[in-house]
Chain A
């Protein structure tokens, strides 16, 4: 599985890097696949409402009503029909990419199991919505779908082997059954919206709307596609003839040919096992459970910064339980915590400057507390013997910066770049532990922990608490937001930063920076 993930990442990363250059990271479509999926869904809903106004819900009137809409009203009704079809197809494309990307980035384990597991029924609901939609047009493709679907469903004991009898002859077709299909084509998408809400309910600050520019671009793309290749019906259904060659929508109907070549029960088994496998992926081996963050009440004043920054809603504020004169205290929900350490990076008590007492912070990671981070920082700095030295704080989901260590580059690994309290940058530079500090994190807008890069940039720019102190020379800080496979670029950037540092005057002394030892 690790090999497949690595292979997929190698595929995604160059595309994401190219799209970041073309679109800017904030507009990169690959960083908002889920949100684009939602946008496609809203287009499908809006165009579907318009089509429904003109749609004849009887089995004998459906086809002609769609033909009238397509040809008599080509300038709008036909466009709406094309929007309905192509946005539905687009939804499948981005849904597949979204799932593959989350799989490639290993973003389905631990607390993320919930979104993964609830995403699996979403696939079924999208496919069922599409199938019922194609059925309603009542052309030869609809006939093929109707016969094959009902024959397949008839294999289930609950249907009693009678549904396919509705589609034996032209005279046997029933308006009532067709009305049931219309109901299904409305009810299933409604249930889909509800399931999507469950899918994102545990995600804090879930992004459900893509960047405005992307929405405009996608709408324009659909419009052009609607005129170049309008969505059309195939010849009308005729139960006296078996459909021969069909223009298939492979996004929704790809498994139908299986029903032609495999026994229906085998297709049920295949669908069931595939669904089950998808559902259990989060519990497959390699699920290293990281210990959840813990709160130290003696150092927590209930400032809420950890709550604000946690990307997983794993920290909440509760009434104070220790009698200290603060109204609230932070409480961690261990089941929701992924151990990213962003809360520790946000805590104002997370400072390496304490010497008299051991550095203990208000909220911390048991397997990588602040005191260990300070030890790691000092040990890494001790390895720096060359000129223009750089201490690198590197996110473990970005490039393997450890491989770039040499006499003037030393690396400290972090679970996320935002797990670094900004005071550590101040500490390194003011104590002259290195000439410069480089922050290496995931690509901009593509953070493994969703907001790590954004929060860290805001802390350095003094837009988000805890701010990096004003006195820290910004020209001695470099930020590299790059992907896992961009080692050559990382090496290049660090060399350039080293040269930049070499051209500067030696690092500010503590006295220059106004630092006093505590």
Chain B
């Protein structure tokens, strides 16, 4: 093979490799999220109430304990699961019971849910029960949201701030 053809062949090889590398480094484009939708995320960490009430220890029980551990009350480590609901324009689209984390169920429950919603105005109701009661909710809030194309909204929960909030 003449050297002209050899160099031409090498050029073709490098051009093909460059095309392969260059093309797939950016193309084809990938549509991650549609233009006519918005994203709502419900994301918070919160610890539920202890599974039972604290109990006062008897004298006998206290006597059996080492002196440095004689706390008058015995409190359970475990926490209750959180009951969480989210309704879109009056229709419940999410209902969950979030278990506490940790080996002994004594950590906070963690919620991270994503909802793709149509663009436009929506009424969002969020409810959460973190107590030992069987029904009803301890925190409820309604948000009127005007969601634009690909808008991202986050609903968080701050117990010390009064409940559910929109994160800015």
- Given known pairs A22-B13, A246-B32, the reply for A229 and B22 (CB within 8 Å) is yes
> Which B residues, 33 to 63, have Cβ-Cβ distances below 8 Å to chain A?
33-35, 38-39, 41, 43, 45
* Interface residue A242 (Cβ < 8 Å from any Cβ of B): yes
Tell me which residues across on chain B come within 8 A of A151, comparing CB atoms. 112
* Interface residue A277 (Cβ < 8 Å from any Cβ of B): no
Tell me which residues across on chain A come within 8 A of B35, comparing CB atoms. 244
Q: B17 to A248, Cβ gap below 8 A? A: no
Interface centre among B21, B29, B35 (most CB of A within 10 A): B21
Contacting residue for B31 out of A18, A172, A245, CB 8 A = A245
Q: A245 to B14, Cβ gap below 8 A? A: no
Interface centre among B13, B27, B43 (most CB of A within 10 A): B13
Q: B24 to A250, Cβ gap below 8 A? A: yes
* Interface residue B25 (Cβ < 8 Å from any Cβ of A): yes
Q: A242 to B18, Cβ gap below 8 A? A: no
Interface centre among A29, A172, A244 (most CB of B within 10 A): A244
Interface size class of B (residues with CB under 8 A): 35 or more
Interface size class of A (residues with CB under 8 A): 35 or more
Contacting residue for A240 out of B17, B18, B152, CB 8 A = B152
Tell me which residues across on chain A come within 8 A of B24, comparing CB atoms. 89, 249-251
In the docked arrangement, what's the CA distance between A86 and B17, Å?
11
Tell me which residues across on chain B come within 8 A of A144, comparing CB atoms. 32
Q: B18 to A244, Cβ gap below 8 A? A: no
* Interface residue A169 (Cβ < 8 Å from any Cβ of B): yes
* Interface residue B1 (Cβ < 8 Å from any Cβ of A): yes
Minimum distance in angstroms from B141 CB to a CB of chain A: 18
Contacting residue for B30 out of A85, A93, A246, CB 8 A = A246
> Which B residues, 118 to 168, have Cβ-Cβ distances below 8 Å to chain A?
150-152, 154, 156, 167-168
Tell me which residues across on chain A come within 8 A of B14, comparing CB atoms. 217-218, 220-221
* Interface residue A117 (Cβ < 8 Å from any Cβ of B): no
- Given known pairs A154-B112, A165-B43, A240-B151, the reply for A93 and B101 (CB within 8 Å) is no
Q: A225 to B18, Cβ gap below 8 A? A: yes
Minimum distance in angstroms from A369 CB to a CB of chain B: 43
Tell me which residues across on chain B come within 8 A of A220, comparing CB atoms. 14
- Given known pairs A161-B110, A217-B10, the reply for A248 and B18 (CB within 8 Å) is no
* Interface residue B20 (Cβ < 8 Å from any Cβ of A): yes
Tell me which residues across on chain A come within 8 A of B76, comparing CB atoms. none
- Given known pairs A161-B101, A246-B29, A246-B32, the reply for A224 and B18 (CB within 8 Å) is yes
In the docked arrangement, what's the CA distance between A220 and B41, Å?
48
> Which B residues, 66 to 81, have Cβ-Cβ distances below 8 Å to chain A?
none
In the docked arrangement, what's the CA distance between A225 and B17, Å?
10
Tell me which residues across on chain A come within 8 A of B17, comparing CB atoms. 90, 93, 221
Q: B45 to A162, Cβ gap below 8 A? A: yes
* Interface residue B6 (Cβ < 8 Å from any Cβ of A): yes
Q: A-side binding surface: helix, strand, loop or mixed?
A: helix
Nearest A-chain residue to B44, judged by Cβ? A165
In the docked arrangement, what's the CA distance between A218 and B39, Å?
44
Nearest A-chain residue to B27, judged by Cβ? A247
In the docked arrangement, what's the CA distance between A171 and B165, Å?
15
Tell me which residues across on chain B come within 8 A of A172, comparing CB atoms. 167
Tell me which residues across on chain B come within 8 A of A323, comparing CB atoms. none
Tell me which residues across on chain A come within 8 A of B32, comparing CB atoms. 144, 242-246, 257, 260
In the docked arrangement, what's the CA distance between A247 and B29, Å?
5
- Given known pairs A172-B167, A220-B14, the reply for A241 and B150 (CB within 8 Å) is yes
Q: B30 to A29, Cβ gap below 8 A? A: no
* Interface residue A283 (Cβ < 8 Å from any Cβ of B): no
> Which A residues, 62 to 100, have Cβ-Cβ distances below 8 Å to chain B?
85-86, 89-90, 93
Interface string of B4-16 (1 = CB under 8 A from A): 0110011001100
* Interface residue A23 (Cβ < 8 Å from any Cβ of B): yes
Q: A162 to B110, Cβ gap below 8 A? A: yes
Contacting residue for A242 out of B1, B27, B39, CB 8 A = B39
Interface centre among B1, B5, B17 (most CB of A within 10 A): B17
Q: A22 to B9, Cβ gap below 8 A? A: yes
- Given known pairs A85-B25, A160-B110, A169-B167, the reply for A242 and B152 (CB within 8 Å) is yes
Contacting residue for A21 out of B1, B151, B154, CB 8 A = B1
Tell me which residues across on chain A come within 8 A of B21, comparing CB atoms. 86, 89-90, 93, 225, 251
Tell me which residues across on chain B come within 8 A of A251, comparing CB atoms. 21, 24-25
Minimum distance in angstroms from A1 CB to a CB of chain B: 27
Interface string of A114-139 (1 = CB under 8 A from B): 00000000000000000000000000
In the docked arrangement, what's the CA distance between A96 and B140, Å?
53
In the docked arrangement, what's the CA distance between A228 and B5, Å?
25
* Interface residue A239 (Cβ < 8 Å from any Cβ of B): yes
In the docked arrangement, what's the CA distance between A380 and B5, Å?
42
In the docked arrangement, what's the CA distance between A86 and B14, Å?
13
In the docked arrangement, what's the CA distance between A257 and B151, Å?
20
* Interface residue A168 (Cβ < 8 Å from any Cβ of B): yes
Q: A242 to B154, Cβ gap below 8 A? A: no
23 interchain pairs (CB within 8 A)? A18-B9, A23-B13, A86-B21, A90-B17, A93-B21, A144-B32, A162-B45, A168-B154, A168-B156, A168-B167, A169-B167, A172-B167, A217-B14, A218-B14, A224-B18, A225-B18, A240-B152, A241-B152, A242-B38, A243-B150, A245-B30, A257-B30, A257-B32
The 4 A-B pairs at the shortest CB distance, nearest first, are namely A22-B9, A247-B26, A161-B110, A221-B14
Interface residues in chain B, defined as those with a beta carbon under 8 Å from any beta carbon in chain A: 1, 5-6, 9-10, 13-14, 17-18, 20-22, 24-35, 38-39, 41, 43, 45, 101, 110, 112, 150-152, 154, 156, 167-168
Additional A-B contacts beyond A93-B17, A162-B110, A225-B18 (10; CB < 8 A): A93-B20, A160-B110, A218-B14, A221-B17, A221-B18, A240-B152, A241-B151, A244-B32, A245-B29, A245-B32
